[in-house]
């Protein structure tokens, strides 16, 4: 359910967990705190998620940061966190956002996946290409094009400065339930770099590495709209 842009008078206490295995989770913390202050109606509580015991109904939202998706996948498996996370994410009262490696982990399919290779949480009906844009030396910044009105209303622009670091991309959506949030023009085609399926969001780029916390505001607004609807 997309968030609605409005001047809220009600105050909301939101508890958001960050999967702190690797990646820019500290930058996500700063951006979320800034987003909550800008929204003005949010009392934000942030929690580190490192063990299965941390994955509880106390959480309203979860951020899966970037990093190395295989390393994160191995960590989740070794610490028996895969099933608790899947159950938590499948609950439609919870909002999940994966960035970069998080997009890979949330996807049901990855192209060129070896049998017995990296496992994913297999939540979103998407097929993702790992390292779609090349290796780390091919990292770049480029404006992405926003596709959803609610997102444009939050960001207050038609584009957003995307930072891509050894980034994936969605090469195929496997269900009409998957909504394309943003694309990147590459040669003569548009590449899907952000999508949403119900209460699950994924982005190929790193909004936490910019000064613009609009995507974090969108994430928090989505949680608020879920709370309002229940």
Tokens matching residue 197: 């399926």
Of 82, 125, 150, 208, the active-site residue reads 208
Q: Is 213 a catalytic residue?
A: no
Of 28, 94, 199, 206, the active-site residue reads 206
Q: Is 211 a catalytic residue?
A: no
- Distance between CA atoms of residues 113 and 136, nearest Å: 20
Q: Is 27 a catalytic residue?
A: no
- Per residue, what are the HEC states of the chain? CCCCCCCCCCCEEEEEEEECCCCCHHHHHHHHHHHHHHHCCEEEEEEEECCHHHCCCCCCEEEECCCCHHHHHHHHHHCCCHHHHHHHHHCCCCEEEEECHHHHHHEEEECCCCCCCCCCCCCEEEEEECCCCCCHHHCEEEEEEECCHHHHHHHCCCEEEEEECCCCEEEEECCCCEEEEEEEEECCEEEEEEEEECCEEEECCCHHHCCCCHHHHHHHHHHHHHHHHC
> Which of 50, 113, 59, 105 shows the shortest CA–CA distance to 79?
50
Of 82, 94, 100, 150, the active-site residue reads 100
Contact by Cβ (8 Å): 95, 34? no
What amino acid positions are annotated as catalytic residues? 100, 206, 208
């Amino acid at each position: 359910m997309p968030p609605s842009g409005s001047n809220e008078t009600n105050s909301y206490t939101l508890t958001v967990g960050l999967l702190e295995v690797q990646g820019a989770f500290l930058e996500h913390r700063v951006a979320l705190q800034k987003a909550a202050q800008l929204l003005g109606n949010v009392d934000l509580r942030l929690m580190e998620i490192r063990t299965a015991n941390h994955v509880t109904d106390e959480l309203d939202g979860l951020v899966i940061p970037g990093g190395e998706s295989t390393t994160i996948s191995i960590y989740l498996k070794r610490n028996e966190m895969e099933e608790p996370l899947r159950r938590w994410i499948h609950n439609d009262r919870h909002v999940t956002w994966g960035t970069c490696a998080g997009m890979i982990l949330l996807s049901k399919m990855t192209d060129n996946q070896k049998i017995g290779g990296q496992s994913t949480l297999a939540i979103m009906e998407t097929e993702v290409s790992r390292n779609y844009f090349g290796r780390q030396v091919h990292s770049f910044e480029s404006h992405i094009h926003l596709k959803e009105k609610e997102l444009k209303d939050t960001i207050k622009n038609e584009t957003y400065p995307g930072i891509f670091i050894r980034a994936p991309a969605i090469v195929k959506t496997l269900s009409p339930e998957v909504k394309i949030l943003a694309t990147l023009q590459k040669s003569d085609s548009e590449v899907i770099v952000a999508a949403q399926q119900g209460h699950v969001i994924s982005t190929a780029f790193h909004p936490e590495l910019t000064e613009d916390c609009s995507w974090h505001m969108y994430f928090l607004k989505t949680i608020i709209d879920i709370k309002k609807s229940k």
